[in-house]
Structures are given as structure tokens and as C-alpha cells.
A and B are shown apart, each in its own frame.
Chain A
Amino acid sequence: MEMAAQPSDTLATLKTESETLKTKLEEERAKLHDVELHQVAEKTEALGQFIMKTRRTLKGHGNKVLCLDWCKDKRRIVSSSQDGKVIVWDAFTTNKEHAVTMPCTWVMACAYAPSGCAVACGGLDNKCSVYPLSLDKNENLAAKKKSVAMHTNYLSACCFTNSDMQILTSSGDGTCALWDVESGQMLQSFHGHAADVLCLDLAPSETGNTFVSGGCDKKSCVWDMRTGQCVQSFETHESDINSVRYYPSGDAFASGSDDATCRLYDLRADREVAIYSKESIIFGASSVDFSLSGRLLFGGYNDYTINVWDVLKGTRVSILFGHENRVSTLRISPDGTAFCSGSWDHTLRVWA
């Protein structure tokens, strides 16, 4: 009499096999690790005194600011908040130029189109919608809204690829997807995370075909946009990964997590190469970005502060106070002259 294979046995065996491979992978990765970043950076000049102040405060959101993105013109910003409002600012003059009220709350993602003519946003509505920006004061922006992406759970992040025609999204449903704006069609989907995907960033590479995502499964994954395959993955964080951002050369990326650390991963060495943490930093990093040269890493944290790290030496250069609630989003401006932080205290601050 044949005994049917117990499904639980197969599952357990598979799990063990996967774990064994993971261990082997870490061993292989460690073999070529012949030096630490801060050792290589010993000969680099230390940074002098670091002074950055709030140069603009953008007030106008009636609730927590959740996301922001810069326009390519280096001075405009789009931001979204918990109460469904999406606002476009000329951050330099602090004027509000456009405002849209979404039909949902917790608009966790927003992005400026490369042309500067549209913005994309979404959140608890599980969708990503594109709004063309009209300068006609009488025009209702909401009327021209275009629904592009459809997920089965909240939208956590979105960004345009090199043109206004395609959008990359990540969602609480554990997947990322690439969409054609014009038709709303899904061009590619990316499966591999075991839990909510919270963030993504497009690679600044020559061939421009990859992006990185981070999720609640503590994993960050690098994806090939053409094939939908996960090319590389890293699992060294101890908690949810809230933010991922490429190093300007595209050879590495940084991630910020609820485990209160930021980490740097090198794509050619295929491993984690630096951890940015301090005993006195208790709360998670919600958002990270590099300065133009990649020397500085800015991290917005859930304890209302912004920590500035020396990427090469691994030390903290400065801590910036000012926000009165957690910092939820942080982006450097396209020409690197300033960075903007958005917070649950309803404001955005531009620092330089």
C-alpha cells in the first residue's frame, strides 16, 4: 500500500534546504570580504563642522505628511498626507501651486513626473493615480485623474521611470509592478517578498534596467525590470525596511529600518558593507537619501530627528532637531543643494 507523502514533510525539507543554501551563500559572500569600509576610508579627510539649518518650512497640510518628491526643476515639491491631500509647492517661495484631495486617507506615496507636468499618488485606495497639473485655476484637477495601478493592498511607494509614461509601484500586497500610464496596463510584476513591500528606488545605471525594493520581511531585493526576476537579495536587517536609496554611482544602495540602523549594500561585492548605528539611537529610520557626492547619508527617524552619517567613515556627523513628530520622508533635491523632510507634525522643512 502506498503511503501518500505528507505535505508537511515536504515543506519542512524545503525550508531546511533553503536555510542551508542561505548559510552557504553568506559564507561565500564573506570569503571575498578582505577589508572594512572605514579602514579603506582612513586616508580620507575627516569632515569639518557641519551646519545645516531649516531654510524653509512648508505649512499647509492639515495632517501627517507621509511622502514627498522633488520636481526636476530643483525647487518644486509634491507632498501627500494622511488626510488625503496632495499638494504641489514651489518650495523656494513656499507658495502652494496645486492641491488635490484624494478619495482615500493615508496617501503614502507620491511622485513628480520627470516632465513636471503631472504627479502620481496613492495609498489606502490600493491604486496609483496620475493627475496632470493644470495651471487653470478654475480647473478641477481631480476631474482629469487617471487610475494607473491596481494592487490588492495599500500602495506604499511609487515613482516614474525615465519618462512620464511608466510608473513603478510597491504595495502592501507583497509585490511591485511596472505600469504603462497611457493604458493602465501592467507591464511587469515582481514577486519574491514574503510580506508588505514598503519602499523602492530606481537604479541610476547606464542601462537603467534595475530597481531595489525593501519590505516587512526584512529583505531588500534588486530586480531586473525586463524579466521580472529578483537578481540579488539581502537579508541582514532585524526589522522592517522602510526606505531604500541607491548610492549615486549605482554600485550600492542604503536602507533604513525599524531596527534603528541604516545599512549599505554593495552590488558587486554582493554583501552588506557598512552599518550606520549608534547606541543612543533607539527609534527606526523611516527614510534615507545620499548627498550628491554620496559622502553623506541623511536619515529621517521616528524619534523626530534627522541623523547625518559619514558614509565612508561610518560615523555620525550631525543630528538635526526641529520636527515635532516623526520624520516620515526625506529627499535630497535634484541638484543636491538642499534636502527636504516631511513629518507627522504636518510640516515639510527644507534644509541647507
Chain B
Amino acid sequence: MTIKTLSQHGVQRQQMPCLTKMERMIISMQDPDMGIKLRNQRLLITVIPHAMTGADIFEWLIKKFSISDEEALHIGQIFVKYGYIYPLKEPRNLILKVDNSPYRFQTPYYWMSTRWPASELDYAIYLAKKNIRKQGELIEYEKECYNALHKRINHTWDFVVMQAREQLRASKQRRKADRIVLECQEQAYWLVNRPPPGTLDNIDHGPERRTTNTRVQLFISFIMHPCSKKNADFYKKEIEHNRISLARNRVKSSICLESYVKYCEQYQPHDPIMQGCLPSNPWITDDIMFWNMNCETVSVPTKLRVERWSFSFMELLSDPVGRKEFLTYLEKEFSAENLCFWQACEDVRHGETSKIPGKVDEVYKQFLAPGASRWVNIDSKTMEKTLEGFKRPHRFVLDDAQMHIYFLMKKDSYPRYLKSDLYKNLLARAVVPQETKKSVLPFIHRQRHSSPSPALATQAAEDDGKTKNSNSFKSNSGTASRL
């Protein structure tokens, strides 16, 4: 399948925000008071006016944006790469050197945003000039381009050579300093627009993104009758949406924002990137103890993990160990059917569409039918609505009932669980791992152990009669799989 090459319009659309910003910065760099101090720079025996050194650019960026050396260099490189600043020494190499290498600002005529695209004819004239000037000494890729162009636009070649000769003649009449500057400007422009093979292409973008404009245009061109109906529908929908939005209840910012502060504070000890994790972060020390101690089947969970169950009901339910503990508690309270019902509803909601009717039937028999073995207590209104929905069972038919039971557990069983001995004892028994010190000799890696692939679980389930192959584990460990 071919990718549609980005249209002129497409490239401009995607690049313009960046180019506009860059150009604003370039202009402020050239500000007579706050910008970079330009002076004459010596290039061998010629004096070039209005130039600056790489170091000047670097220091100005650091001061202006209060950024680090590394970042200033990074931004400086971007300006040179995009052709907004060009080097006078080694003009082929569009990089920023933080020393007294001379640089100049590119003339706006050649800015990326103003001249687009650079035509073949212009490029041919440029290469022809070089060819004549250097008497056939173009470098490799330029030679190839030159020959290819010669073939492609052969019919205008006389014009090309004539233009090239004329431009060379005109430039010979300029002062040497001006001539050097003009040549560097032009060279920088072509290095950006026709990058040598191997260098990064600045105009490299992803597949074309279409916006409403393109879509409407296409619509008009292909279908003759007015497309206003489509647009009218769109606006009608927007109006409806905005009306509903206007009517919605909003919460004060102070309340909303305060909740973030609380949330971040509460979860900070659990955030490995913020506060580290015990015994250690596996990615840093190569020790997978942290993962082993927090896996699904661990018998003694860590203290942090058990504490986290108290943050919200969802935290408890989403941890398999937490859910198991909660089920044990509910069994003691003779209300385990609530959790089982909730799980069964989840299964309906997220399972295969074809299995829905069957599952709904099962749920009804086990939990909702009068005299059911694990009957759950739902209010009559919800029950009525649910039973009505059973006539045509769909994915969300149990939602209301599930929600009812969920909030019942959340408001009643959950808070009591947190106060129960079961929970408190578990918390007391919970483990606080000891910190693994990083290896004294940092260059010696711990061996990085592989783990069984989760895909193995289904494999084993599928291989009914076959024994669980520990050998197939080995094929995953250590050796690089050849693919």
C-alpha cells in the first residue's frame, strides 16, 4: 500500500506552528538592544559583517530562557538545522559549534516558511552554478542530482545554464564579503531543502492528516449537489451538545484542584518514580524481588499494598489479593454473594457478545430468581427494570443491578472490612521489604532473569492432555530468540 506523499498544504499545516515560533525567537535574537551582539567576524582574510560566534548564540539562549547548557545547545542546533542560522566556516556542516566559529542569520527570503517548495528548476540553476564555479567538482550526491535533473528537465537546460552564468557574472561584481555571504546563504538553503543522503530530513512527516477544510473541498469536487446538508447537521449537533453542556452542574475549581493535591500526596509513597520502591526498582538494580513480592499469588502482601486497599473501594477490588481477602471477610458476614454477583456482571459486560444470553440466564438463576441459592438484595424498582431488560438481554442489561450492589458494598461492607480484625491482622503481618543496595561495582550486571510469558497460560490451558512443559519455559530464558 502506498502512502500518499504529504501535499504542500499538508506539510505547511503541520510545520507552521513550529516555524512561526522559531521565527519569533530568531527575530528576538536579532533585536538591537536585547539580541545577540553582532560584529565583524574574520574568515581567513575576509571580514564578514553582522556575524556572531557559536558561543554568542549559546550564551544568549541560556540567559534568555534560563535553561541548561545541554538544552541551549539542543535549541541552537535546531536553528542551524532548519537553516535559520548558518555557519560561515565549514558551511556544508549544519551544526552549532560552541566556540568562536562564525555564524550568521539567514535572510528571511530563504526562511522555511516563506519559500516552499523549492523547485527543481531553482535547484538545477544552483547546481549548475556550482558546477561552473568549481569546474565540474560537485560532490557525489550533488553530481547524481545534477545528472538526474539534466535528464528530467532537459528541455529547459539551456535556460538553466544561461541563468547560472548570468547569476555568476552578477556575483563577480560584488565585494568578496558579500559574495561569500550570498553563497553561504544559498548553500544553507539547499542543504535544508535537499538534504544529503544520510542526514535527517527536516520535512519528514507522518501520513497526511486531513482537516474539515480538505474534507469539504473533496466533497464539493466529487459530488455536485450542495454539501450544506452535511455541514448543517454538524452544526445542529454542536448546538445541541453546547446547550446540554451549558446546563451541566459544575464544581468549583478550588474543590477540584484540592483533590489533586490530596491524591498526589496520598499516592506519593506508592509512586516508584517519585519515591523509589522497596526492595529496589528492578529496572535500576536488575533485581526482580519487587515484582516477586507483589505478584498476584503472594501469600504475604507488602504493607504498602495492604494500605492501598484503604484508599478506595476500587483499589481493593482491582487487586486480586485484596479481592480474595474481601471475599473471605464477606463469607464471614454471609454476604459473599454480593461480590460474586458483581463479578458475574463484570463478566457479562466484558465478555463475548455471543455468550451474553447464556450468562445472563445463569446470573438470573443464581442470584436474582426468587429462592435463588445466592440471592442478592436489590430494590424492587431496579429489579423490575432489570427483569424487563432480560426479555432482550444485552451487554449492559445488568448495569443498574450491578451498580446497586457495588454501592451497597462500598458504603457498608467495605468500611467495616477496613475496621475488621481480618484486615488489621493482615496489615500487621504485612511485610516491609529491606532495601537492596545497588551493586558496589556498578558495571557488573546482575543476571537478568526472564519470566514465563503470560501467553503460556492459554497455551497450557489449550494443551489439555499434554503435561505442562517446563522445557518450553527454557526456550524463553536467557537466549535471544531468533525471529
Residues of A participating in the B interface, judged by any CB pair closer than 8 Å: 7-8, 10-11, 14-15, 17-18, 21-22, 24-25, 28-29, 32-37, 40-41, 43-44, 47, 52, 55-56, 66, 71-76, 87, 90, 92-93, 95-99, 103-106, 108, 115-117, 124-125, 132-135, 137, 153-154, 161-163, 165-166, 172, 174, 180-183, 185, 187, 192, 194-196, 198, 206-207, 216-217, 226, 230, 232-233, 238-240, 247-249, 251-252, 258-260, 266, 268-271, 273, 278-280, 282-284, 291-296, 302-305, 311-312, 319, 321, 325, 335-339, 344, 350, 352
- Could you give 22 example pairs across A and B, Cβ below 8 Å? A11-B231, A14-B239, A40-B261, A41-B257, A44-B261, A73-B451, A75-B282, A76-B454, A92-B451, A117-B457, A163-B351, A172-B207, A182-B354, A195-B210, A252-B256, A273-B253, A280-B75, A293-B274, A294-B263, A304-B74, A336-B270, A337-B290
User: When the two chains form their complex, are residues B472 and A135 in contact, meaning their CB atoms are under 8 A apart?
Assistant: yes
Return B477 CB to nearest CB of chain A, in Å. Answer: 8
Inter-chain CA distance A134–B457, complex, in Å, is 11
Pairwise interchain contact B481-A97, C-beta atoms closer than 8 A = yes
Closest to B243 in A: A21
Q: Sorted from nearest, which 3 A-B pairs have the closest CB atoms?
A: A116-B454, A293-B267, A163-B350
Extra contacts, 7 of them, besides A10-B232, A338-B273 (Cβ < 8 A), are A153-B210, A192-B241, A196-B210, A295-B271, A304-B74, A335-B291, A337-B282
Q: Which of B250, B260, B406 contacts A247 (CB 8 A)?
A: B260
Q: Are the C-beta atoms of B22 and A282 separated by less than 8 Å?
A: yes
Q: When the two chains form their complex, are residues B257 and A273 in contact, meaning their CB atoms are under 8 A apart?
A: yes
Q: Is the interface of B mostly helix, strand, loop or mixed?
A: helix
Q: In the complex, which residues of chain B have a beta carbon less than 8 angstroms from the beta carbon of A7?
A: 226, 228-229, 232
Contact of A293 among B270, B282, B288 (CB under 8 A): B270
Residues in B whose Cβ lies below 8 Å from that of A134: 455, 459
**Contacting pair B250 A135 (CB below 8 A):** no
Q: Which of A52, A93, A282 contacts B450 (CB 8 A)?
A: A93
- B46-72 CB contacts (< 8 Å) to partner A: 61, 65, 67-68, 70-71
In the assembled complex, the CB of A342 is this many whole angstroms from the nearest CB of chain B, namely 13
Whether B480 pairs with A294 at a CB distance below 8 angstroms is no
Contact A279 B314 (CB under 8 A): no
Residue of A whose beta carbon sits closest to that of B15:
A258
**In the docked arrangement, what's the CA distance between A338 and B290, Å?**
13
**Are A337 and B239 interface neighbours, CB within 8 A?**
no
Q: Evaluate whether A260 and B226 lie within 8 angstroms (CB atoms) in the complex, with A135-B472, A247-B260, A269-B253 already known.
A: no
Nearest-neighbor residue (CB-CB) of A185 within chain B = B353
Q: How many residues of B contact A (CB 8 A)?
A: 108
User: Which of B229, B239, B253 has the most CB atoms of chain A within a 10 A radius of its CB?
Assistant: B253
Contact with A along B94-134 (1 / 0, CB 8 A): 00000000000000000000000000000000000000000
Cβ A35 vs Cβ B253 within 8 A: yes
B207 touches A240 (CB 8 A): no
B438 within 8 A of A: no
Q: 1/0 per position for B1-28, CB-CB distance to A under 8 A?
A: 1010000000000100110011001000
Number of A-B residue pairs at CB separation under 8 A: 332
Asked if B236 is at the interface of the complex by the 8 Å CB criterion, the answer is yes
Which residues does chain B contribute within 8 Å of A247, judged by CB atoms? 260
Chain B residue numbers with a CB within 8 Å of A312 are 260-261, 264
**What sequence of 0s and 1s flags, for each residue 135-165 of chain B, a beta carbon within 8 Å of any chain A beta carbon?**
0000000000000000000000000000000
Cβ 8 A contact of A172, one of B209, B228, B352, B476: B209
Q: Per-residue 0/1 for B469-483: is the Cβ within 8 Å of any A Cβ (1 yes, 0 no)? A: 000100110111101
Q: Are B232 and A11 in contact (CB under 8 A)?
A: yes
Bound-state CA distance A7–B236 (Å) is 14
CB <8 Å contact, B277 and A194:
no
Could you give, for residues 71-91 of chain B, a 1 whenever the CB lies within 8 Å of some chain A CB and a 0 otherwise? 100110010000000000000
> Does A40 lie within 8 Å of B18, measured CB to CB?
no
Question: Roughly how many angstroms separate A40 CA and B260 CA in the complex, as a whole number?
Answer: 9
Contacts of B479 in A (CB 8 A): 95
B281 to chain A minimum Cβ distance, whole angstroms, is 5
Within the complex, the shortest CB–CB distance from B459 to chain A, in Å, comes to: 5
Q: Inside 8 A of A103's CB, which chain B residues have their CB? A: 1
Asked if B425 lies at the interface with its beta carbon under 8 angstroms from chain A, I say: no
| Bound CA span A71–B353, Å | 24
Taking CB as reference atom, which chain B residue is nearest A218? B211
**Which residues does chain B contribute within 8 Å of A66, judged by CB atoms?**
206
Measured in the bound complex, the distance between the Cα atoms of B282 and A74 in whole Å is 11
Tell me whether B458 and A284 are in contact (CB under 8 A). no
Please pick, from A35, A40, A238, the residue contacting B17 in the complex, using a CB distance under 8 A. A238
- Is the pair B242, A18 in contact by a Cβ cutoff of 8 Å? yes
Q: Return A25 CB to nearest CB of chain B, in Å.
A: 5
Closest residue of A by beta carbon distance from B67? A280
Q: How far is the CA of A294 from the CA of B67 in the complex (A)?
A: 25
Q: Would you call B237 an interface residue if the criterion is a C-beta within 8 Å of the partner chain's C-beta atoms?
A: yes
B258 at interface, CB cutoff 8 A: yes
Q: Which A residues lie within 8 Å of B439 (CB)?
A: none
Contact in complex: A92, B448 (CB < 8 Å): yes
- Inside 8 A of A252's CB, which chain B residues have their CB? 256, 260
The distance from the CB of A11 to the nearest CB of chain B, in whole angstroms, is: 5
- Rounded to whole Å, the gap between the CB of A235 and the closest CB of chain B is 11
- In the bound assembly, the distance between CA atoms of A282 and B79 in angstroms comes to 11
A292 near B272: Cβ-Cβ < 8 Å = yes
Whether B17 pairs with A239 at a CB distance below 8 angstroms is yes
- Chain A residues, CB < 8 A from B291: 74-75, 335
Chain B residues with Cβ below 8 Å from A73 are 451, 454
Is there contact, CB below 8 Å, between A90 and B483? Answer: no
Asked whether, in the complex, the Cβ of A251 is within 8 Å of the Cβ of B256, the reply is yes
Q: Is B200 an interface residue (CB 8 A)?
A: yes
CA–CA, A280 and B283, complex, Å: 31
B75 to chain A, nearest CB (A): 6
B contact residues around A293 at 8 Å (CB) = 263-264, 266-268, 270-271, 274
With both beta carbons as reference points, the residue of chain A lying nearest to B459 in the complex is identified as: A135
How far does the alpha carbon of A279 sit from the alpha carbon of B245 in the complex, in Å? 33
Distance between B349 CB and nearest chain A CB, rounded to angstroms: 8
In the complex, the chain B residue whose C-beta lies closest to that of A106 is B207
